[in-house]
Amino acid sequence: MIVSTLAAACAAVLFSGPVAGPVIGGVATDDYINGVASDDQETKRSWTISADAIYTADGSVIENGFIRVQDGKIVAMGPGGPSGGDVIRVGAITPGLIDLSLRVAASWNTVEQGSEVTANMRMADAVDLFDEDWQRALRGGVTTALATPLDRNVIGGLGVALKTGGEPTIEARQVAADVVLRGCVGSLPSSGNRPAFQRPNSIFNRRPTTRMGVEWEARKAFYDAMVAAADESKSFPGAEQLQAAMAGELPFMVQAATTQDIRTTLFLKDEFGIPNLILDSAAEAWKEPQMVQRSGASVVLPPFTWDGRTDVDGAAMPWNTAAGLAELGVTFALSGHGSSEPDQRLSMQPLYAMRGGLDFDTALASVTRVPAEMIGISDRVGTLAIGKDADLCLWSGVPFEATSAVVGVMLEGDLVVDPRD
């Protein structure tokens, strides 16, 4: 009787039509699931937003200006502009924020653990777009993010640049596919592995079990790729991606937080002639900044913390790290690691960096233009210009001031957070 009743209830749910979901950003989630925006959204594809200041992130500021948005794109912008009840008025406008180390939806399902080197695996095939952390990031002003595999492999696969909201399909949200090859050094790739003192009884009875083993796996992968380039019969899955990284066609993004891990990664760069290296979570880059500068590598800094210790290998990072890198001309971006803590989110990181001596323009660029350029998506996002995606972050006052806050967010012309509410 219980079984039959349960079956009848399940059948009623399955065949009674879609169940209404909660409203997110003004659009019911079931509308997004069915790939159809609501009528209300369809009638509001055109907006005019005015502000005391518009920061374009290319070094210019439009005082008392406006931005006109239509069909998801910026169609006009400049000083002055219309006024009236249909015009949204805010304190300031910046481009939507971009996080290259958001770490949202990076579960165990995003990494193939059958091997330590899986350069051909695509995050686009594994990312969970229904994770509610996307919405938290979006409501905090992050409109574009880089999704990469969980850092459990030495080389985990290919990252994908995505919008943080909209219809939850890769086709709808993808800005660019396979934009970086993700690697990791330090303690994480060897965690869970163990030597087999007798007969192996697990796939985790393998290298690496130490930092030395992590480096060996990375070097072996690139040497194998070099052999495969010379002899096609020696090719293997992932060889093409490793060769692309060595040729500079694909950025090699490696998590390396501590000084020893940053050194290891830079030595790998020199050994294999990798032109485009991005050091992710490079908290201790401040200890040997000249070495980073000479290498030509780019840096993504982790969130600043109250005690100076980061969440990756306990690396230490003072608040003047960003300012020190900027003085040497090192290209860097800030990140928020998808934190749920309000004081750790990406919109707060420039404030901390500025307290450490970083100037405003560089701080703004580090969360907008620079990360877009680092992964090759600056043709669509990162700055405010006519023809670019209408991804806007709306502020109550001067961005990154302690007295200002994100009060509105626009994603491809959709006002997902309304500053008038």
Residues 284-303 pLDDT 10s: 999 999 999 999 999 999 99
Higher pLDDT, 158 or 85: 158
Residue 355 has pLDDT above 70, yes or no: yes
Residue 17 has pLDDT above 60, yes or no: no
What is the model's pLDDT at position 11? 41
What is the model's pLDDT at position 194? 67
Q: How confident is the model at residue 191 (pLDDT cuts 50, 70, 90)?
A: confident
Residue 7 has pLDDT above 50, yes or no: no
Spatial CA neighbour of 410 closest among 36, 22, 51? 51
Domain with CATH 2.30.40.10 in the chain: 37-96+383-421
Average pLDDT (136-148) is 97
Q: How confident is the model at residue 306 (pLDDT cuts 50, 70, 90)?
A: confident
Q: How confident is the model at residue 107 (pLDDT cuts 50, 70, 90)?
A: low
What is the model's pLDDT at position 249? 97
What is the model's pLDDT at position 1? 39
What is the model's pLDDT at position 327? 98
Rounded to the nearest 10°, the torsion over CA 361, 364, 366, 368 is -130
What is the model's pLDDT at position 338? 86
Helices and strands per DSSP (H, E), number in the chain: 13, 17
Higher pLDDT, 53 or 200: 53
What is the model's pLDDT at position 32? 31
User: How far, in Å, CA of 90 to CA of 82, rounded?
Assistant: 14
| Residues 6 or more apart in contact with residue 86 via CB below 8 angstroms | 48
The CATH T-level fold of domain 97-381 is: TIM Barrel (3.20.20)
What is the model's pLDDT at position 59? 92
Residue 2 has pLDDT above 60, yes or no: no
Least confident interval from 35-44, 86-95, 215-224, 412-421: 35-44
What is the model's pLDDT at position 200? 66
Q: How confident is the model at residue 195 (pLDDT cuts 50, 70, 90)?
A: confident
User: How far, in Å, CA of 159 to CA of 163, rounded?
Assistant: 13
Sign of the torsion formed by the C-alpha atoms of 358, 361, 362 and 364: positive
Higher pLDDT, 43 or 100: 100
Cβ–Cβ < 8 Å for 282, 257: yes
Q: How confident is the model at residue 318 (pLDDT cuts 50, 70, 90)?
A: very high
What is the model's pLDDT at position 199? 74
Domain with CATH 3.20.20.140 in the chain: 97-381
Higher pLDDT, 116 or 320: 320
Higher pLDDT, 282 or 343: 282
Spatial CA neighbour of 116 closest among 209, 223, 255? 209
pLDDT digits (tens, 9 = 90+) for 263-275: 999 999 999 999 9
Cβ–Cβ < 8 Å for 413, 71: yes
Length of the chain: 421
Residue 172 has pLDDT above 80, yes or no: yes
Residue 69 has pLDDT above 80, yes or no: yes
- Is CATH 3.40.50.300 what the domain over 37-96+383-421 is classified as, yes or no? no
Residue 29 has pLDDT above 50, yes or no: no
Spatial CA neighbour of 181 closest among 221, 226, 149, 212? 149
What is the model's pLDDT at position 370? 99
Residue 57 has pLDDT above 60, yes or no: yes
Whether the model clears a pTM of 0.85, i.e. scores above it, the answer is yes
Residue 378 has pLDDT above 50, yes or no: yes
Higher pLDDT, 421 or 138: 138
CA atoms within 13 A on the CB side of 182: 32
Average pLDDT (83-89) is 82
Average pLDDT (49-58) is 97
Residue 290 CB-density burial (10 A; 0-12 exposed, 13-18 middle, 19+ buried): exposed
How does the average pLDDT of the chain come out, rounded? Answer: 87
What is the model's pLDDT at position 9? 41
| Residues 6 or more apart in contact with residue 313 via CB below 8 angstroms | 186, 187, 188, 257, 258, 261
- Please, what is the Cα angle at 100 between 92 and 136, to 5 degrees? 60
What is the model's pLDDT at position 152? 87
